[in-house]
Structure 1
Amino acid sequence: LLRTVEYQKGVPHGRYREFYPDGRLRAYGTNMNGARDGLGMEDYLSGKPLRKSFYRAGKLHGVVTEYYPSGVIQSETPYIDGEKDGKVREYSEDGLLVYERDHRRNLESGKTRHYNAQGGLYREYDYKNGVQHGSMQEYLSDGKLKGTYECSDEKREGRGKEYYDTGELLLEGIYENDELNGPVRIFHKNGKVRIRSDYKNGLPHDNAWREFYETGAVRWIIPVKEGKKEGAAKEFHPDGHIKTVGTFVNDQREGLFKNFDENGVLVSDEVYDKGRLTRRTEFYPSGKIKSDQYFYENLLPPGEGGG
């Protein structure tokens, strides 16, 4: 037996039941004058509820509630005359709210909110007649605004801005498919540019990646490839004079780095092996050696040093 249906005057009217092949109840509800009406229930094979629906004259009318096999609510969807209308809510298996989506006449319209794993607001979008429009807002875990972005299909697409948790502008750049792609500027809290770089697939990728002091003066110029420093680098004093020159390989200092004071006088030479300092030679202003030190694991070996 897979189904029982009560009839009146040749049309379904009254209770109906549907069963799994092993005989356990799968669904039940009522018909009125040939159409579903009132409460309709569907169960898992375990007997726990899968879906609870309400009908009026054969159309969904009321809140449809779907459940995880554990019994926790998975979603709540309001209907009016067969169309989604109102706030649709989706939940995690832990019972935390994941999405809220406003609907009007079966189309997503209004605010859509996406929540993080802790239940806090993560992203917020605007929809109109089923189409996303306007900007997207993203929030930090404490609820403060992280950024505002042009977006498409709930992904960052176009110009975006991010902010410090104190409200100052932190970043300004271009997004493609939810990742930074193109020119990006990162700011100090005083509004001056701190980093200027091109990005590719969400990572810095620029032959002349630049970092700046809070005054606006250049601090570093370094080639960066796929997020890693790679090539000849220069560091500057705030007055613009060279401070350090050297080479990065795979995001680590490699080989000789030369350090200068504000007047351009050589202060020290440093030698690196895969980012580890192995030797430092310091100089007097006259150019004579002041000290010559070798390092193991960034520590001065006992008895070694120089004058």
Structure 2
Amino acid sequence: MNKSIIFITLLFCNSVFAQNYFTSYYDSAKTILKEKYQVIKKKRKEIKHGTYEIYYENGKLWQKGLFVNDSLDGYWIDNYIDGSINQEINYKNGSLEGITKTYDITGQILQIEPYKNNLLNGKLIIYYTNGILMEESEYNMGILNGKTISYLENGKIRAIRNFKNGIEEGEFVEYFENEKIKEKSFKVKGIYDSLFTGYYKDFKDGDVQKKCYYKNGKLNGLFTGYYPSGNIMMECNYINDNIEGQYILYFDVNDTLNLKGGIKETGLYKNDTKTGLWKSFYPNGKLHTIGNFVNNLLDGEWFIYYENDVLKQCGTFLNGTEVGAWNFYTKSGKVFYEGKFIDGKKEGTWLWYYDNGKIWKEIKYIGNSIQYPVKTYDESGKCIESFKQEEDNK
């Protein structure tokens, strides 16, 4: 009795799941095969079950793998149009499971991806097209967790990052191609936070280029720049990514003979904009320039000095443009030439002088263009030359 029941059951199963083969073609003459696969009938519905193959129109195998009850299962391959392998993929019950490998058209491996239940899980490895390792990262059920190491094409480490629940967290270190550290920083919830240190590339390892501080992804606090010598280059303060307050630029010790590390330029910032009185200095500490900024533009009277404290030139700016009378002096303090600007263009009569104060040359301008004739005088004040434009162009 039991044997009869088993026999009837087997016959029933073979009838319900009887396999058929399906094929399709690119052409109506059915000479160019497109795909072939096995199907079974289950609950009056045909489903893929068994080997599946699809081909390019040139006859090369495109994909091959296994279906189980209409779901991708087991080992699959995906090829380029020339028949070379593109991917090796593993499935289980329709989901990615195990290792997936991706290749370029030459057969060089590009990526190794570990999957579990259709999610990246384990070490993801990416390669350059020359086979050199590009990046290694750790995933936990589809989420980046742990250390990610990126490499340069020469095989040297480019960066080391840490992730927590898919977001950068903790120390970040980046390297130059010569293996020297480029940057050290910290990230909280994916954004910069606390100390950031940048380094020089072409000097001895550990030469700091800048130090600054972040809070909630924005520059906040003291920003210090350094020369390759290690001496301070500049100092300023940031508030929410904007320079605020005193700005000081220094000379390098190696660039100064009489004043080591002296101030080169100083002034005020407000909301990341130059404002108020600004000064610059020579390496010996003597004043070089002094004047005001308004909204990042030169404004008001500006004075420029020679290194011996003698005034070199002075004049007025309005919204960054020269206006009004401007005077220029020799190193001995005598007037060299003078004239007037309108909206940044020379206008009217400009005069050049001998050391004795007599006029040497006279040029008239309209809108920065010379109006001929141009006159020159000897030291007694006598006009010795008056030339026109055609003479000037000879």
Question: Taking structure 1 as the reference length, what is the TM-score of the superposition?
Answer: 0.65
Cα offsets for 1:162-190 (capped at 9, x unmatched): 11222211111123565544431111232
Alignment map for 1:208-227 (pairs within 5 Å):
208-227=277-296
Partners of 2:218 and 2:157 lie apart in 1 by 16
Pick 1 or 2: higher relative contact order, CA cutoff 8 A, min separation 6.
1
Deviation at 1:161, TM superposition (A): 0.7
The unaligned stretches of length 5 or more in structure 2 are: 1-53, 55-62, 253-259, 380-394
Instruction: Select 1:150's aligned residue among 207, 210, 213.
Output: 213
Query: 1:159 maps to what in 2?
Result: 222
Instruction: Check conservation: 1:77, 1:84, Cα contact below 8 A.
Output: no
Deviation at 1:276, TM superposition (A): 7.2
Instruction: Check conservation: 2:194, 2:215, Cα contact below 8 A.
Output: no
Query: 2:16 maps to what in 1?
Result: none
Structure label with greater radius of gyration: 2
**Pair 1:42–1:60, CA change in 2 (3 A):** same
Cα offsets for 1:123-146 (capped at 9, x unmatched): 431236756433112234525432
Counterpart of 1:205 in 2: which secondary structure?
Answer: strand
Q: Do structure 1's residue 168 and structure 2's residue 215 form an aligned pair?
A: no
Partners of 1:109 and 1:157 lie apart in 2 by 19
Counterpart of 1:304 in 2: which secondary structure?
Answer: strand
Q: Do structure 1's residue 15 and structure 2's residue 75 form an aligned pair?
A: yes
99-108 vs 160-169, which moves further: 99-108
Q: Do structure 1's residue 60 and structure 2's residue 121 form an aligned pair?
A: yes
Instruction: Select 2:198's aligned residue among 138, 158, 163.
Output: 138
Deviation at 1:40, TM superposition (A): 1.0
The unaligned stretches of length 5 or more in structure 1 are: none
Query: 2:184 maps to what in 1?
Result: 124
Partners of 1:254 and 1:102 lie apart in 2 by 54
CA RMSD of aligned residues (A): 5.2
Partners of 1:98 and 1:152 lie apart in 2 by 28
> Structure 2: which amino acid aligns with 1:280?
W
Query: 1:281 maps to what in 2?
Result: 353
Instruction: Check conservation: 1:293, 1:306, Cα contact below 8 A.
Output: no
Partners of 1:219 and 1:303 lie apart in 2 by 33
Counterpart of 1:62 in 2: which secondary structure?
Answer: strand
Counterpart of 2:228 in 1: which secondary structure?
Answer: coil
Question: Taking structure 2 as the reference length, what is the TM-score of the superposition?
Answer: 0.54
Instruction: Check conservation: 1:101, 1:108, Cα contact below 8 A.
Output: no
> Structure 1: which amino acid aligns with 2:99?
L
Query: 1:194 maps to what in 2?
Result: 264
Deviation at 1:102, TM superposition (A): 2.0
Partners of 2:220 and 2:108 lie apart in 1 by 42
